[in-house]
Amino acid sequence: MRTATGSARQFEVNSTRLIDELHALAKFTSIEQPETGTSVTRVVFSDDDLRARSWLKQLATDAGLVVLEDAVGNTFFRWVGSEPDFTAVATGSHIDAIPHAGMYDGTVGVLGGLEAIRSLKQSGFRPRRSIELVLLTSEEPTRFGIGCLGSRLMSGSLEPEDADRLHGAQRGKEAETLAQVREAGGFRGVLSSVRLKQGHYHAWVELHIEQGPLLEREQIPIGIVTAIAAPASYRFTIEGLGGHAGGLLMPDRRDALCAAAEIIRSIEKDALATKAIDTVATVGTCDVYPGAVNSVPSRVTLQLDVRDIDPARREGVMLAVRRDIDAISRRRDVKVEETLVNADEPAICSEHIVQVIDDACREYGIVPKHMVSRAYHDSLFMARIAPIAMIFIPCRGGVSHRPDEYASPDEIANGTRVLAATLAKLAME
């Protein structure tokens, strides 16, 4: 790899070990593998998740790191610096995976973070501030219907009592509360103890695959995130009039699904109308009742995700959507009920950390792309307790959450080297 001269220290990583560990972690899944790619299902607190956690803790122990866990399973692997009372520099991500996902989402940040620390140790570097790798619990909403559970609790963005009452089920099993499953997994104690104070970390840096096409398309090996878009989630319930598909005449129909189809089209229209590349809106679920081919739908439930780095522009989309829904409901004689499920604020990354990452890239001969993350990550909530930034690496085709998700060994090694150099610089401040 081409390098540049400069004062910053360069660190090499054991990319073979890192890739082998990524493949080993991907085996903590019980689903059948496709013909191409690697399919991973690792729902939080499942047997696969708990076994993967134990394996990771052993790797960290072997690396000489101090291991601690909190009541929701956030796990902390600390390399104690020469000034242990100083606030630490932290990195990390998640290892839980939605059903039939790929093997790189989150895991590159966790195992890449571990490899970055090992490379620093093996180089003889001695940090002033402690460096901490954090495995965050349940970034994916698969089990409990809310994403970034561990970082929300850590940052005070979710009330502990509300969290413990969350219900979630694995396929074929009865739904249980978070309180039940975390205690069954060995994570005991009151959730209020998970909360960290603002300023707990000197800096937070997360390494992640881009989950988008820009870096690959522009042939840029590293992206530096300057802002993270935040989603607002809504549920719309459309009530119409059902009946027999043959007996209910067309002029008399109040078809809830036809109304829902118009609403979906209006959401797309209103998001595009902003003409902003950072505005995205997705209707990801559509539940139809009664769901029979010979029955006119009487009720439909839609779930909408709309996100932007500009909260005012995001709300502008919703105002336009509400106007359209009002017109559709009057024209089609249906009733539409809107429920706000969740709304988060976007995060702006630290200019200082962004510059440190940029400097590290250039020491390795890389000219990075400064960019926005439209996917949200645990870093969105870590920003409430520490200055943050993120390092993106390309993923093939921008694909994620699928078995064919892929990042090359060279790209992963690039990101890990830059992460190591960034942690080293921040740890000496």
Q: Could you give the angle at the alpha carbon of 354 between the alpha carbons of 349 and 358, nearest 5°?
A: 155
pLDDT of residue 173: 62
- Maximum distance among all alpha carbons in the chain? 80
pLDDT of residue 167: 85
For 392-411, what is each residue's pLDDT tens digit?
Answer: 999 999 999 999 999 999 99
Q: At what angle do helices 107-123 and 409-427 cross, to 10 degrees?
A: 60
pLDDT of residue 64: 98
**Residue 171 pLDDT greater than 80, yes or no:** no
For 242-256, what is each residue's pLDDT tens digit?
Answer: 999 999 999 999 999
Mean pLDDT for 87-101 is 97
> Measured between alpha carbons, how far is 400 from 84 in angstroms, rounded to an integer?
38
> Measured between alpha carbons, how far is 305 from 340 in angstroms, rounded to an integer?
11
pLDDT of residue 3: 34
Q: Please check whether residue 415 is in contact with residue 207, taking contact to mean a CB–CB distance below 8 angstroms.
A: yes
> Measured between alpha carbons, how far is 259 from 389 in angstroms, rounded to an integer?
42
For 291-317, what is each residue's pLDDT tens digit?
Answer: 999 999 999 999 999 999 999 999 999
Tokens encoding 56: 């990771």
Tell me how far the alpha carbon of residue 102 is from its chain's centroid: 14
For 98-156, what is each residue's pLDDT tens digit?
Answer: 999 999 999 999 999 999 999 999 999 999 999 999 999 999 988 998 899 999 999 99
Tokens encoding 262: 């118009």
**Residue 331 pLDDT greater than 80, yes or no:** yes
> Measured between alpha carbons, how far is 111 from 92 in angstroms, rounded to an integer?
8
For 175-191, what is each residue's pLDDT tens digit?
Answer: 799 999 999 999 999 99
For 207-223, what is each residue's pLDDT tens digit?
Answer: 999 999 999 999 999 99
**Residue 169 pLDDT greater than 80, yes or no:** no
Average pLDDT value for the chain = 94
